[in-house]
Structure 1
Amino acid sequence: MSVAQDIAPTQRAISVETIGMSKVFGSLNALDDVSIKVAPGSFHALLGENGAGKSTLVKCMMGFYQPSSGALVVNESEVSVPNPRAAHAHGIGMVYQHFTLVPSLTAAENLVIARADTPTIIDWKKERKALGAFLETTPFKVPLEVPVSSLSAGEKQKLEILKQLYLDQRFLILDEPTSVLIPDEADEVLGLLRGMTEAGELTILMITHKFREVTAYADDVTVLRRGRLVGSGRVKDLSVEDMSRMMIGETEIRESAARTEQTQKKLKLELAGLFAEDDEELPAIEAISLKIHEGEIFGIAGVSGNGQSELIEVLSGQRLLKDGRIFVDKKPYEPERGQMDMFKVFGFSEEPLKNVAVPRMSVAENMAFRTFDKAPISPFRGWLSPPPMRKQARELIAAYRVKTPSTEEPIENLSGGNVQRAILARELSGEVDILIVANPCFGLDFASVAEIRAQIMEQRNKGAAVLLVSEDLDEILELADTVAVMSEGRITYQSPMAETDRATIGHAMAGHH
């Protein structure tokens, strides 16, 4: 572990400190008197749930927002940062969660046009020579002469970091830098950055929700909750339990459901040679064949954009199959409402307001989508009775701990975690034989994640066959009985979870089979 004070004073890394920083938006106190100090040459993690104030804090540091009060101090001197250009002038740069590169340009072109002093007519011979010399000074290696669109996600992330180093930024803010990377790439990128902090060349402030990365790479951690600083310390002195408790406060965390041994192994859901195209009529999924049994969670891992969303759309009836068959209980199955009902097929996915809810309709109405045409809500065909619908909603709200002012609140006014709980309540309120879920905990708070994963495990323990598609490898490792990896629209690896491990799955995600 590097100790900032031990680093030679000639280091390039700079210290950045916020003093009493606050930011008010109307009636919302998004940031409330936050003081953090990131020592030069340290790797500092910033933790907190959605809405904790992490993004607001770094946007104030970068000059995207002007704080309502408080100061920013760089290398012990107070500075004014009216805009991002001023932040860059003080050596502060940011690597965003989503790539900001121009895909059609080469890596070299992306680097040169990022400069504030790019000449009108570029002497490419001179620039390439200078870039070659610059790359010699960094541990990051990226092919400079190929279009960015042909680079892997790991190479793009390295190029985003290289761009900041090329612009001479010596304090880097990383916003969820590994969210689009496979485990091997994430470890490589963070390992290289860690080396640069230890050498005193760089200071890092990383926003993350992955405790594994905090414990492996960070020196110090700061935790925000509801806009306030609630804890900080040396990573080596804190357990994951300590950090998670700081993040969520005294919120009750649901214990994860114990995995029960399943004796019955009846085949429930079979996908036989599925082919489908994307919106550009190019192959999206090819020859997908899977068998999922009662009491089994079948997890599909993979980096985003490898056909997972198209597969889920096929299984939920939102995308046409080009070829192949789906069987439930060995009978042909079509994903439409009547058959979903008959075969007890349920599901939910990330961003439910976009996919499986009507934002402006009430919580009660959204919860009734499965049952609105059945008694007691519809005692006569085509006739809806609101009292039973509200009664059902009240029961589900209580059972699934959905926080809402009333059953009549438009569902779009609820927090992300509560929208997901409401949809979960609807989809799990009946008898479930097959459950199809995609990134069910995407962007949710700690307590909601624990709740949803426990509910999925409970359905499995009751005998449901569960297909879980997730980009979060930790989620797959925690829940799945069987794991498969999807790459370029195909299943490229499959194994019982007991016979594999994180590294093997990670290698398969990287395309090494």
Structure 2
Amino acid sequence: MSALAESSLPAPRAPSLTVAGMTKTFGRFTALDNVSLSVKAGSFHALLGENGAGKSTLVKCIMGFYSPDRGTLTLDGTPIEVKSPRDALAQGIGMVYQHFTLVPCLTAAENLVISRADTPAVIDWAREKKTLAAFMETMPFSVPLNAQVSSLSAGEKQKLEILKLLYLGQRFMILDEPTSVLTPGEADEMLGLLRGMTERGEITVLMISHKFREVKSFCDHFTVLRRGRLTGEGDAQGSSVAEMSRMMIGDTQVRERAVRAVVEKKPDVLDLAGIFAEDEQGLPAVHAINLKVKGGEVVGIAGVSGNGQSALVEVLSGQRPMTSGEIRVNGKEFRPRRGDFDRFKVFGLPEEPLKNATAPRMSVAENIAFRTFDKPPITRFGWWMSPRILRRHGEALIARYNVRTTSPDAPIEALSGGNVQRAVLARELSGDVDVLIVANPCFGLDFASVADIRSQIMEARNRGAAVLLVSEDLDEILELADRVAVMSGGTITYVAPIEETDRNIIGQHMAGH
């Protein structure tokens, strides 16, 4: 019998799930410490916590990827053992991952059929498509079954991932950051449909998320982990964002957000004129990019991942050649080379700075000195570099920018993600800045680091810098930007002052409408 239940059987109902005393260690590191979690049948439950809090470890124990050292799982009041993902499937527990697990070259129907454990060696497609059509009639949303997955939008792919779980009879769904690749409209539509299914008692959802707006809009309960321990739980509708944040970060002091000062706008400082660039296959990666940024202004570039934003940042940082176009700073041609970065006072924080903006095995102090090591007072006579002055320079910036490190001599790769970001910003913002280019500056960081780094970006803007902020976090752009530009299909399709637009309008342009 296929994973799709016969129509004569009653519809599957949403199960409850309880985790009791779950503990998981990796060597001397305790990833989960006596964690308990109760997800009621038919609920939409949020699992919150910062990076490293233990969320992924917990759901991997539930799914059977990890075997816990201690702890029990109960499904609908019955103790169960899940030693592998196949066991989870047999129990009706499924997971939608942050990145798609579909086969792009197959159709939606083919992806559904091959996901079954009982797929025959020779498939009767006439019969399968008839069964799939009947299945789709029972679903609150659909995707074109005969379309190749590669041709589907991100929203349709995410729907197909969910349909696959329902097709396999998995009524307890774990969603790992399910909206990270969706436009705001697609995200709200998908979560709204799932919320409707939970309210009808058809499924139970446990969602890992860092977006409080989605938690408040769609979830009914939440559980918070911090450093592998349970630190709070409650009613998502009755609890405030501040209360949930406090459970996540504890007594950590979070920096006040920088105030958006009223500054006199300077003339255009950064001018991107007709920028074209190709990808590794020689196909267009960005084309006809025209954008100007004034001094004392943040222009945020929004867009769904993969629409040319990363390639544009690589062009601006000198990591990808332009095939056509011109970059001008204060009216003069800028070439993305070290000499011009210095001469035109162009600074930046690229995506994944540990990989793209540091020498990981060199010390924190040495990395902070990359922009100044060959200038006085660190270097004298044009050739003699003073390690003592370099170290002192690093110590001063480490203190000023709150970089937490055991020593200025520690390798920068030993720092947490937030502290790597702080160290790079200490280097890039410590002098006079005319242009600041930042890409996804807060991805995966803790609350304190996010508040600190966003404040530093705003302070650079308040001092008169022209800031180009490329971010896949729309909330970040709405918080920081004076104007927003949307990239879709490798080009800019929409530009507007932030006060003349909103989340829905931006989302529509992100979707290509």
Partner of 2:327: 326
Kept in 1, the 8 Å contact 2:346–2:433? The answer is yes
Deviations 1:374-407 (A, max 9, x none): 1122213333221111111111111111111111
CA deviations on 1:24-54 (whole Å, 9 max, x unpaired) are 1111110001111000000000000000000
Shift of 1:11: 6.4
Give the corresponding residue for 2:101: 100
Q: State the AA in 2 paired with 1:89.
A: A
Q: Corresponding residue for 1:198? A: 199
Q: Note the C-alpha offset of 1:361.
A: 1.1
> What amino acid is aligned across from residue 473 of structure 1 in structure 2?
L
> What's the counterpart of residue 380 of structure 1?
381
Corresponding residue of 2:397? 396
Task: State how far apart, in whole Å, the 2-side matches of 1:274 and 1:86 are.
Answer: 52
For 2:360, the equivalent position in structure 1 comes to: 359
Q: Deviations over 1:273-320 (max 9, x none)?
A: 111111111111111111111100011100111111111111111111
Q: Return the letter of the residue paired with 1:97.
A: Q
SS of equivalent to 1:318 = coil
Q: Which residue of 2 aligns with 1:405?
A: 406
Give the distance between the partners of 1:49 and 1:96, measured in 2 at CA: 18
The range that moved more, 281-290 or 47-56, is: 281-290
Give the whole-Å Cα distance in 1 for the aligned partners of 2:25 and 2:60.
Answer: 13
Gaps of 5+ in 2: 1-9
Alignment of 1:12-23 (within 5 A): 12-23=13-24
> What residue is the counterpart of 1:89 in the other structure?
90
Aligned to 2:379, the other structure's residue is in SS state coil
Aligned partners of 2:278 and 2:12: how far apart in 1? 53
What secondary structure does 1:181 align onto?
coil
Structure 2 Cα separation of the partners of residues 34 and 450 of structure 1? 28
Which ranges in structure 1 are unaligned for 5 or more consecutive residues? 1-8
Structure 2 equivalent of residue 433 of structure 1 = 434
Alignment match, 2:145: 144
CA offset at residue 216 of structure 1?
Answer: 0.4
Match of 1:212 in 2: 213
How far apart, CA to CA, are the structure 2 residues paired with 1:311 and 1:168?
43
Q: Distance in 2 between matches of 1:354 and 1:139?
A: 43
Distance, in Å, in 2 between the alignment partners of 1:314 and 1:478 is 26
1:72 aligns with 2:73: yes
8 A Cα contact 1:14 1:170, kept in partner: yes
Contact 2:486–2:509 (Cα < 8 Å) also in 1: yes
1:286 aligns with 287
CA contact (8 A) 1:54 1:224 kept: yes
For 2:265 and 2:37, the matched residues in 1 are separated by 55
Paired residue type of 1:114 = S
1:142-291 correspondence to structure 2 within 5 Å: 142-291=143-292
Residue matched to 1:134: 135
Q: Is this contact kept in 2: 1:350–1:441, CA < 8 A?
A: no
- Alpha-carbon distance between aligned partners in 2 of 1:451 and 1:352, rounded to the nearest angstrom: 16
Q: How many residues align?
A: 504
- Secondary structure of the residue aligned to 1:237 is coil
Which aligned runs of 4 or more in structure 1 are off by greater than 3 angstroms?
A: none
Larger deviation, residues 289-298 vs 258-267: 258-267
Aligned residues of 1:223 and 1:247 also touching (Cα < 8 A):
yes
RMSD (CA atoms) = 1.1
TM-score when scaled to structure 1? 0.97
Query: How far 1:444 moved relative to its partner?
Result: 0.7
Task: Give the aligned residue type for 1:450.
Answer: A
State the 1:10 CA deviation. 8.4
CA contact (8 A) 2:265 2:297 kept: no
Looking at structure 1, the residues matched to 409 and 270 of structure 2 have their Cα atoms a distance apart, in angstroms, of 37
How do residues 45-56 of structure 1 correspond to structure 2 at under 5 angstroms?
A: 45-56=46-57
Match for residue 25 of structure 1? Answer: 26
Name the CA distance, whole Å, in 2 between partners of 1:65 and 1:204: 21
Amino acid at match of 2:231: V
Matched, 1:446 2:447: yes
